[in-house]
Amino acid sequence: MKTSPSLCEDLIRRTWLLVSLTVLAFGLAMYFLILSPLFDRLAASELRQGAEIAGERVELLFEDIERMIDTARRWGLREQFTLDDLHGFDGLFEPFVASQPRVTSLLFADERGREFLLLKMPNGEWRNRVSDPQRWGQRQRIFSWRDSPPPLTEGEWQERDYDARRRPWYQGALALTRDGELHWTEPYQFFTTRELGITVSTHWHDPHTGQLRVLALDVKLFDLSRFTQSVNTSANGQVAIMTPDSHLLGLPRHPRFKNDEQIRASVLKTAAENDLPHLAEAFEQWRADGQPTENVLFFVAAGARWLGFFLPVRFGNRQLLVVTVAPRRDFVPIGAADALALAALFVALLLVAFLLSRRVARRVCRQAVGNRQGAVAHARGRGPAAQSRGRAQ
């Protein structure tokens, strides 16, 4: 007697399905319980590290500038420079400004509106602007030089509607409550160079006359983009520096921000205005989540899952945000070749499972057939003897 083929096939099918589901369940559990959280932690760590690197560079930049202006203020208290000696002012501060490539100019003014400007030009020249509204009105004297300042008689007269006392850096310093405090302006366009930047200013009072003195340093924002574009978090990650209202001061790596003109044209615009959807979406998600500064946030942009991290950087009365964003796929260490290899491995496991299932099922079927045949033979052997005993009785 033979066992039904459908029974063996059903046993093979059930055994193979059980093994396959076990392998699949194990694989899914490994991914969702171990690998996926591991990838998220890896991504969060990389984003934090990128933000901290950029943040440290920005903090060092502003700390250097603050030390510079504090040193200059101390020189002013000792009257090592005054508004009566332009050449002495230049001789003292030319190497001072030249030592800091991110400082474009130094400004010194008093409460009468008298002002000295020492400006470092991109072509290597130096320029002075001397203002005295009470004596000259809107006229200013301009001196340009390279190796040494020219005689004071050679200055060029220009007429401009300018008064240092109306500038943001002067107004900010005037509002300070104590001598030596620092004020950082909002980012704005410099009056002379038309370049976007930020200015730190401080004030003190002349120890003899009690008159107010204001000193300021102009800092280019252009170099912040060099910081952010040099930090690498992942293949498609971006690092940027934003104001709290989402205007960009440090631009991320992008083909549209390769040369100086493109960078200057894009600074102080929002991420949306610069067509940076991932940064724009990250900012909106960050604001919707209550502006967290400790946790990495997850968001969806262009149908893909992204991560973002916001690190506040505080200096004086201002705060900036170092922002890092990256697609989650950048942190999954499985490429197309790896995925194909895993798929091939899974197919091989299923094939092995099928072969083993068939072998086990056939063995069970054969044993079942043998047991059944033995039972039938045994039953047949006992049948005549039982009949004989019945007749004898």
Q: Is residue 375 part of a domain?
A: no
Question: Based on the domain organization, do 226 and 355 belong to the same domain?
Answer: yes
**369 or 52: which leads in pLDDT:** 52
CB 1 within 8 A of CB 372: yes
CA atoms of 284 and 297, how far apart (whole Å): 11
Q: Is the pLDDT of residue 193 over 60?
A: yes
Same domain, 213 and 141: yes
Tell me the per-residue pLDDT of 259-285, one tens digit each, with 9 for 90 and over: 888 888 888 899 999 999 999 999 999
Considering only residues 197 and 361, tell me which one the structure prediction assigns the higher pLDDT.
197
Reduce the DSSP state of residue 274 to 3 states and report it: coil
Query: Is residue 232 domain-resident?
Result: yes
CA angle 117, 120, 122 (to 5 degrees): 140
pLDDT at 387 over 70: no
What is the C-alpha to C-alpha distance for residues 22 and 145, in angstroms, rounded to an integer? Answer: 82
Residues 13 and 137 in one domain: no
Residue 236 lies in a domain: yes
| CATH number of domain containing 48 | 3.30.450.20
Residue 95 Cα distances to 89, 99, 384, angstroms: 11, 6, 125
DSSP 8-state code for residue 150: P
Closest CA to 302 of 281, 285, 283, 288: 281
**Tens of pLDDT, residues 60-85:** 888 999 999 999 999 999 999 999 99
Say what the pLDDT of residue 241 is: 94
Same structural domain, 85 and 52? no
**Domain end position, chosen among 167, 201, 220:** 220
Is 130 contained in some domain? yes
User: Does 206 lie in the same domain as 230?
Assistant: no
Same domain, residue pair 135 and 208: yes
Mean pLDDT, rounded, for 21-45: 71
Residues 47 and 16 in one domain: yes
The SS3 assignment for 192 reads: coil
Please give the structure tokens belonging to residue 128: 């002075």
Same-domain status, 18 and 122 = no
Q: Which tokens sit at 150?
A: 């020219």
Which helix (H) or strand (E) covers residue 275, if one does?
none
Residues 58 and 87 placed together within one structural domain of the fold: no
In a domain, 288, yes or no: yes
Co-location of 136 and 62 in the same domain: no
Average pLDDT over residues 140-168: 90
Number of domain units in the chain: 2
Domain closes at, from 187, 220, 253: 220
Q: How confident is the model at residue 207 (pLDDT cuts 50, 70, 90)?
A: confident
pLDDT, averaged across the chain: 84
Q: Which of 10-14, 291-295, 347-351, 376-380 has the lowest average pLDDT?
A: 376-380
Which of 220, 255, 285 marks a domain boundary? 220
Looking at the domain assignment, is residue 51 inside a domain? yes
Domain coverage including residue 18: 1-68+222-365
pLDDT at 190 over 90: no
108 shares its domain with 199: yes
Residue 1 has pLDDT above 50, yes or no: no
Q: Is the residue at 378 inside a domain?
A: no
| Verdict on whether the full-model pTM lies above 0.85 | no
Is 385 a domain residue? no
Q: Are residues 143 and 14 part of one domain?
A: no
